[in-house]
Each structure stands twice: as C-alpha cells, then as structure tokens.
Amino acid sequence: MSVEITMSSIFARYTDNQLKIPVEGKTVGECINDLVTQYPDLKRMILDKNGKLLHSYDVFVNGESAYPQEMAKPVKDGDKVQVVMLIQGG
Amino acid sequence: MLSQEELERYDRQIMIYGFGEEGQAKLKKASVFIAGCGGLGSPVAIYLAAAGIGSIRIVDHDKVELSNLNRQVLHWHENIGGIKVDSAKVKLEKLNPAVNIETSTETITEANISQLTADCDLIVDAMDNLPTRYLLNKTAVEKGIPFFHGAVYGLEGRAMTVIPGKSACLNCLYHNVTIPREKFPVIGVTPAVIGCIQATEVIKYVTGLGELLTDRLLIYDGLRLTFTELKVNKDPNCEHCSNSQGR
C-alpha cells in the first residue's frame, strides 16, 4: 500500500513518462520527498533550495485543496495526491 | 421580445431544453466584459457573439503579431501589425451584426478597471498574466459580478467560475502568488477548449441553465485527454472575498 502522486503531463519528461507515481510517506512533504528521490530531475522543478514546495504549485489530496501547510498535511495508504502547476497563459 | 430573424438565427439553441426564447432574450440583454483578445479571448468572443450576447466589451492593448496566429483565431494574416481589438471587432460584427461590440486598447490597471468594466454583467478572464487576473477577480468580487477564469500552457488548461459571495474566488485558489511572465508554449486547440468552456459557463450563468464550475478547478490535459476536477475551498482569510456578500 502506498500513496499515489499524480503529476501534470508537463512533467512527463522528468518522470520517465510516469504520471501516476506510487510513493511512501505519512505527510504530503514526505511523499513529495520520496517522489523527487525516485525522479531527481523533478526536484529543481518543484522544490526550492530549502526543500520547500515552490509557490507556483498547489497540492490537492483526494481532490481537495491541501492549503495551507500543504507539506505537513497527513496522508494515509491509498490517498491520492495531485501536484498542480500554476499557469497564467492566455 | 425576439424578432423573426432572431428566432430563426437562434432556432437550434432555443430548442435546448430549459433554454427557450426566454434564455435567448436573457443573452440579448447581457453585457459581457472580456479581458484579453488573444488565444482565450478569441474563442470566448466568437462563441458568445454567435450565441447572441447583446453586448461584448473587449479590452486588449496589443497589436497582432505573426506568432499570434497559431492560436488567436480572431486575427488573420492580413491583420498583422494592426490593433487586436480592431481586428476582433471587424470579424465579430461580420459574424453577428446584431451584437454590440465595444473595444478599448487601454492597459487594464487598478486605476481604470472599474470604469472599463462599468455596466458589464460579468467578467471573462482571458489574460496572459496573474497580476491582471487577480485585479479582475478582485473587481468582480467588489462589484458582486461573476468572474470566469481560464488559463493555458502547452496542451494543458484550467478553468473555474467565481460567483462572489457564494463560491471560492481566484485568490482563494492561488493566494495572490505570482510567477515570472515569460513566453509560454501553446497550440491553438488548447485555448479553444478552455475558451469554449468559459463561454459555456457564461451562457449557463446568463440563462440560468445547469450547474456552474464553482468551487471546482477544472484541469484539462490534452496530452492524456482527461478532465480532472479539484475541489477549491473558500479561504476564510482571502484578501479579495472574505468580506464579500455578493450582489
């Protein structure tokens, strides 16, 4: 059992085209750290130098916004985490 | 009251269950503000004009460039170098001469936004930058009028509808976060999808049909061809809407 992180297709190049990725962790932050351990090229895209999620990303757990304190949000086996990139193009 | 010509022009949409002549009359009375006349603004304006919205005000300060033409379908090769809103007005008036098209080349700012949106029933966000999107959102909340958000990147898009006083707003979703404005990848079909969703929401709001895309962020992934809905909560501390009561 594990948590599943869904990434945008935009990041497929950093995750060997895997967009639904099983990760381990008890919080969103632990899960994201596991994610970037599995796919190190993703780290500089979504985390700052202190390991904090960049402001340009939002996290949803089981389809619901995890704001605020996203990284500390507890997760359990079977939860689905979605990392959403903020976009502004028109 | 609809004319015989209007009854014929809009016959197929009047046939939609719950729409009827009453819905068409509501569209005819509506006044829509579209911020931006590019990738998103083009399909929004085209489909709202085709549907018979009474008045459309489009604001965009840009001129048409060759690199716009892969997606900004209101502008054609012959319009390169011309003012976007002029190009748009010509096409939209040819599409539906009954629609009143108003244009402005002003840059949207905190100082002029209230006057630019004056007398409009709703605001469509077809911009290309977050600061102006937040300004539009804030104005819509202050005026108590709906706000229809859309954004694109590559083959991905987002859409959300804001009903002040009732639903989460753009600032509840993004918390005033900004990102550097830079050239972004996009192909025309992406803003076509998202712009049509925004126009659909406008038509639904005006006619009272269906359920709006409120408190939900719609994520369109064209590469996987999926639509995902994520729940957005109203932020009790939102600087834009926490004190709004709606109109």
- Supply the ipTM of this predicted assembly: 0.93
| CATH of the domain spanning A3-85 | 3.10.20.30
In a domain, B197, yes or no: yes
What is the β-pairing status of strands B122-125 and B31-35? parallel
SS (H, E, C) chain A: CCEEEECCHHHHHHCCCCCEEEECCCEHHHHHHHHHHHCHHHHHHHECCCCCECCCEEEEECCEECCCCHHHCECCCCCEEEEEECCCEC
When pLDDT is averaged across residues A22-36 and rounded to a whole number, the result is 97
pLDDT in tens, B16-51: 999 999 999 999 999 999 999 999 999 999 999 999
Contacts of A8 in chain B (CB under 8 A): 156, 219, 221
Q: Is residue B244 part of a domain?
A: no
Q: What is the pLDDT of residues B198-227, one digit of tens each?
A: 999 999 999 999 999 999 999 999 999 999
Mean pLDDT over B101-108 rounds to 98
Q: Which residues of B touch A90 (CB under 8 A)?
A: 36, 38-41, 125-128, 150-152, 191
Integer Cα distance of B44 and B35 in angstroms: 10
Cβ–Cβ gap B128/A88 under 8 Å: yes
Per-residue pLDDT tens digits for B42-87: 999 999 999 999 999 999 999 999 999 999 999 999 999 999 999 9
Distance CA A56, CA A78 (A): 26
- CATH at residue B139: 3.40.50.720
Cα angle value B174/B172/B163 (rounded, 5°):
120
To the nearest 10°, the Cα dihedral for A64, A70, A76, A79? 40
Is residue B242 a part of any domain in this protein?
no
Query: With 90 as the cut, is the pLDDT of residue B243 above it?
Result: no
Residue among B169, B126, B125, B127 at smallest CA distance from B144? B169
* A58 contacts in chain B (CB < 8 Å): 173-174
Backbone angles phi, psi at A27, to 5 degrees: -135, 165
Is the pLDDT assigned to residue A44 strictly greater than 80? yes
Are A90 and B39 within 8 A, CB to CB?
yes
All residues at 6 or more sequence positions from B225 whose CB lies less than 8 Å from its CB, including other chains: none
Contact at CB, B231 and A64, closer than 8 angstroms: yes
- Domain-embedded: residue B162: yes
**Residue B28 maps to a domain:** yes
Nearest to A90 among B151, B219, B224 (CB): B151
Report pLDDT digits (tens) over A46-79: 999 999 999 999 999 999 999 989 999 999 999 9
pLDDT tier for residue B130 given thresholds of 50, 70 and 90? very high
Is B238 within a domain? no
B243 within domain boundaries: no
Return the structure tokens found at A26: 């008890």
Q: What is the pTM of this model?
A: 0.97
Give the integer Cα–Cα distance in Å for A53 and B125.
27
In angstroms, the CA B191 to CA B25 distance is 28
Please name the amino acid found at residue B205: Y
Q: Does B40 touch chain A (CB under 8 A)?
A: yes
Mean pLDDT on B179-187? 93
CB A56 within 8 A of CB A86: yes
Residue to mutate among B170, B217, B225, with most A CBs inside 10 A, is B217
| B10: containing domain | 4-231
Four-residue CA torsion sign, B230, B235, B238, B242: positive
What domain count does chain B have?
A: 1
Task: Answer yes or no: is B110 within a domain.
Answer: yes
